[in-house]
Amino acid sequence: MTFNQTEKQEKEYLQRVIGIIHDTINHTDSSVKEHVETLQEYKDYIWSNKDIDPHEIRSMRESILNHYALGESVIHKRSRLGRILDIPYFGRIDFREKKDGSRTMPVYIGIHTFYDAQNKMNLIYDWRAPIAGMFYDHELGEASYSSPAGEVNGEISLKRQYRIRGGKMEYMIESSLTVHDDILQKELSSNSDDKMKNIVTTIQREQNRIIRNEDAHALIIQGVAGSGKTSIALHRIAYLLYTLKGTISSKEILIISPNKVFADYISNVLPELGEESVPEISMEQILSKVLDDKYKYQNFFGQVTELLEKPNHDFIERIRYKSSFEFISRLDKFILYMENHYFKAADVKLTKHITIPSEFIDEQFRRFNRYPMRQRFETMTEYILDMLTVKYYFTVTTAVRNLLKKEIKNMFAGNNDIQIYKDFFEWMGKPQLFKLRKNRTLEYADLAPLAYLRMALDGNSVQSGVKHLLIDEMQDYSPIQYKVIQKLYPCRKTILGDASQSVNPYGSSTADMIRKSFGTGEIMKLCKSYRSTIEITGFAQKIQANNELEPVARHGEQPQVLSFGNVEDEFSGIADLVSIFRKSNYQSLGIVCKTEAQAQDLAAKLQMHGQDVYFLSSQSSAFVKGIIVTSSHMAKGLEFDEVIVPQVDAENYNSIIDKSMLYVAVTRAMHRLTLTYGGGRSEFIIGV
């Protein structure tokens, strides 16, 4: 007989579970109170007894630390219990092991495990637990999961999904499928929020395979627009923290994030899953740190802005060449050339009677060839002075040591990073490919090669404190950047993005290029797009086709393309669309312009018509819900209920990078999309 067969029985059972959770919370609250009172007693005792024996003080200190640690643990448990009261669980499978005497066991699955200490049984299983994996991976019938004791085989006889909110069951659905389409459709049709949410209730089979992949050293996820790749990567991090508990902590994970706004937008997911947030950093911060933050540089946003506002053929060629594998190959050959030609040994007169011959110094430079070139000077100095001490009973002074080291260092022609980098382009016969900007500012594309050279000369400063690296928007980084990352972070990696959404088309990477850069990696694909309606997805596909994209069947309004006679009329039309949005049930509107300057100008005009319009710039640090005006670059990774894309005219959208920006802009829309233009429409939407 099925445990909790009817919906009425399920609702009664839910209330019993919530009652047990409440009892546990009350018990936990009492425990916290006891710990606080005990700590206060210790404190009062110490203050009122000035002449306490040192041994007693040591003993009391240990007791205080133990109580504090226990109290912290209890408070953490209390916090977790409070979170699961709203949605204790979302799914259930009935599983029976394939062995004699086994009984069918109902397995309720939620965000966190809940163990009923009184009855000594698990009432809820964490979605990351091995047994819970069957909910995502198997339909009714034969099923299995990997336990610490080995593979467990059996049969799933029942599969249910629930929608529970505020501790109340709204409905339940019986399903043989992994995640019932009705549940998925309801979740996808809901409005966007101010932060990315967890998706444990709707994880699909292909997504679950990525989340639970423990074998790949470098997992490269190519996911189409709206496939949930960032969310899946964060759920993967939560899964690894659960599975590898004790061997990795959230502080030992690092996210390379495109900007502060995106980092804020995704900041909810891990805490919702019961894990602490992980540190994040930008690619240029990493590269600049390798160079001791010594140089001014154009950041990635600056490069993209220049390509959009002032495209220059020579600038594009510089970016394109520095993103090629040929460039890396030539750089490696130049490093070898430096090894053979940049050290010119000379005689060193140490004292009136002792001169060290150049041949001997050159021999030592070759002897220590296992050291990076600029690391050899110290070792060579010590070795030469040791030889002198043994042979001539020479007394080494600090002055002599410093003189010899200085002389040896000056024999090497590669002590200035910028000069070496210039030499490299001269050596290649392509001096035009290096251009220092005003105030000796480096172009963004030069930051990684310069860091690569520095590491070859000074050695790698391996970041051993990072045990897992997550790289988002993978397509926007070049092979040379990945080479630097591999040297700095030899740890496991999760890399994700979409080659179709590059805002850096002249210097972007595909999944295959990334695997080639690392020399290893497993590529997994996410082809289903969940974000947009079929109508919006079809519109985006006509701008930039992605043959791998498979939309989930969710219908909505046809996208609109509105033509206006002039700029003023177009602005009035956009203002009218904003007014319509304000009266709708939608929560978020993204007005996505091609450039930040256009977004800033439009935001200023709209703000005169209403206070609730926010301008999201490259300097912003937080994502806000409501009406947002921003650039395509800043909108990457975000989603909105409704999107308006202004100025889609022939003058504004005409180049390769413009096309990428337009594709990014339209794929931000979940439910409604409108494009506006004055004058002649862009060729990218002619016939769309």
Q: Answer yes or no: is 229 a known binding residue.
A: yes
Model pLDDT for residues 447-469, shown as the tens digit of each residue? 999 999 999 999 988 888 999 99
Rounded CA-CA distance 79/76 in Å is: 5
Residues 524 and 540 both lie in one domain? no
Q: Answer yes or no: is 224 a known binding residue.
A: yes
End-to-end CA distance of the chain: 57
Residues 149 and 112 both lie in one domain? yes
Q: Would you say residue 317 lies in a domain?
A: no
Buried b or exposed e, range 424-461, using 16+ CB within 10 angstroms: bbebbeeeebbeeeeeeebbbbbbbbbbbbbbbbeeee
Q: Would you say residue 458 lies in a domain?
A: no
Q: Answer yes or no: is 333 a known binding residue.
A: no
Residues 286 and 214 both lie in one domain? yes
Three-state secondary structure call for residue 114: strand
Residues 579 and 663 both lie in one domain? yes
Q: Answer yes or no: is 637 a known binding residue.
A: no
The CATH number of whichever domain residue 577 belongs to comes to 3.40.50.300
Residue stretches of the chain with pLDDT short of 50: none
Q: Answer yes or no: is 429 a known binding residue.
A: no
Of the candidates 239, 108, 107, the one whose C-alpha atom is nearest the C-alpha of residue 164 is 108
Provide the residue range defining the domain that includes 152: 1-178
Last residue of a domain, one of 506, 528, 550: 528
Q: How many CA atoms lie within 13 A of 391 on its CB side?
A: 8
Residues 6 or more apart in contact with residue 385 via CB below 8 angstroms: 394, 396, 400, 401, 404
Tokens of 489: 């972070």
Could you give the angle at which helices 398-410 and 376-392 cross, rounded to 10 degrees? 130
Residues 10 and 157 both lie in one domain? yes
Model pLDDT for residues 219-228, shown as the tens digit of each residue? 999 999 999 9
Of the candidates 434, 428, 458, the one whose C-alpha atom is nearest the C-alpha of residue 446 is 434
Tokens of 160: 């249910």
Q: Answer yes or no: is 230 a known binding residue.
A: yes
Residues 166 and 260 both lie in one domain? no
Q: Answer yes or no: is 225 a known binding residue.
A: yes
Task: Give the pLDDT score at 683.
Answer: 95
Rounded CA-CA distance 644/591 in Å is: 5
Q: Are strands 150-165 and 168-174 parallel, antiparallel or unpaired?
A: antiparallel
CB atoms within 10 A of CB 230: 23
Residues 552 and 507 both lie in one domain? no
Residues 559 and 521 both lie in one domain? no
Residues 90 and 222 both lie in one domain? no
Residues 514 and 642 both lie in one domain? no
Residues 361 and 257 both lie in one domain? no
Rounded CA-CA distance 421/271 in Å is: 44
Query: For the chain, what is the domain count?
Result: 4
Q: How far is CA 648 from CA 270, 447, 564, 670, 681, in A?
A: 37, 33, 11, 20, 6
Buried b or exposed e, range 179-201, using 16+ CB within 10 angstroms: bbeebbebebeeebeebbebbbb
Q: Is residue 452 within 8 Å of 464, Cβ to Cβ? A: no
Last residue of a domain, one of 528, 553, 575: 528
Q: Would you say residue 379 lies in a domain?
A: yes
Task: Give the pLDDT score at 216.
Answer: 94
584 φ, ψ (degrees, to nearest 5): -85, 180
Residues 169 and 240 both lie in one domain? no
Last residue of a domain, one of 411, 431, 446: 411
Q: Is residue 278 within 8 Å of 267, Cβ to Cβ? A: no
Three-state secondary structure call for residue 248: strand
Rounded CA-CA distance 108/103 in Å is: 16
Rounded CA-CA distance 332/330 in Å is: 5
Q: Would you say residue 190 lies in a domain?
A: no
Amino acid at 514: I
Task: Give the pLDDT score at 621.
Answer: 86
Task: Give the pLDDT score at 392.
Answer: 76
Three-state secondary structure call for residue 677: strand
Q: Would you say residue 189 lies in a domain?
A: no
Q: Would you say residue 135 lies in a domain?
A: yes
Rounded CA-CA distance 536/558 in Å is: 7
Q: Answer yes or no: is 228 a known binding residue.
A: yes
Rounded CA-CA distance 591/571 in Å is: 12
Of the candidates 273, 279, 234, the one whose C-alpha atom is nearest the C-alpha of residue 260 is 279
Task: Give the pLDDT score at 149.
Answer: 83
Q: Would you say residue 450 lies in a domain?
A: no
Q: Would you say residue 42 lies in a domain?
A: yes
